[in-house]
Amino acid sequence: MSIWFSCPFFREYIMSAGMVSASKESISYVLNNKGGGHASVIVIGGAEESLNAHPGSLTLNILKRKGFIKMALKHGAHLVPVFSFGENELFKQVANPKGSWLRNVQEKLQKIMGFALPLFHARGVFQYSFGLIPYRQPIHTVVGSPIPVKQNLNPTTEEIEQLHALYLQKLRKLFEEHKRNYGIPEHKSLIFE
């Protein structure tokens, strides 16, 4: 369970906004709502991806993340690819390449605590040189067309892999269609890890 849902008062605050943890049980609860009209929005890369969130980085930790695909198949929930341009430009992060001492410590702490601790900085309230307030950068979120998913209570590994590959293809296409509009050079592409 996420640590955020264990903190008194903060738990009630985020739940009043309709947030739930990304656990199988919570997602199933949302998707099983008989009245309909509910959507699950999942930050797929999660804590691990936050350690790669450097300005200019286009790396998504998604290749091993297939639980959301399995849940979509079990519930017949359409998948909608979404990408936000500019998120990684809000903060600068201390260099932490894979294999470095800092990255190893961050990954160990992530396993213990359940969330990552990126060492980041941005601007201050009255000055622009250092602080924890995000830089003034726009974030542009683009939403792709839904990928229809037929309900299958017992999906095979092959079906999960096939839908995952289709999702990655649609996400890459969405990025490529819109990158010019948001200042991404033509030669840059998404990197899936």
| 65 has a pLDDT exceeding 60 | yes
Strand pairing class (191-192; 59-60): parallel
The pLDDT of 58-64, averaged and rounded, is 94
Query: Which of the 8 DSSP states describes residue 55?
Result: T
What CA–CA distance (Å, rounded) separates 46 from 22? 10
Q: What is the DSSP letter of 109?
A: H
- Tens digit of each residue's pLDDT (9 = 90 or more) over 115-142: 788 989 899 988 888 899 999 999 999 9
pLDDT in tens, 181-192: 999 999 999 999
Indicate the average pLDDT of the chain. Answer: 91
For 56, residues 6+ apart whose C-beta sits below 8 A from its C-beta are 88, 89
- What is the model's pTM? 0.88
* Predicted pLDDT at 1: 47
Contact 89, 114 (CB under 8 A): no
Sequence-distant (6+) residues with CB within 8 A of 83 are 141, 142, 171, 174, 175, 178
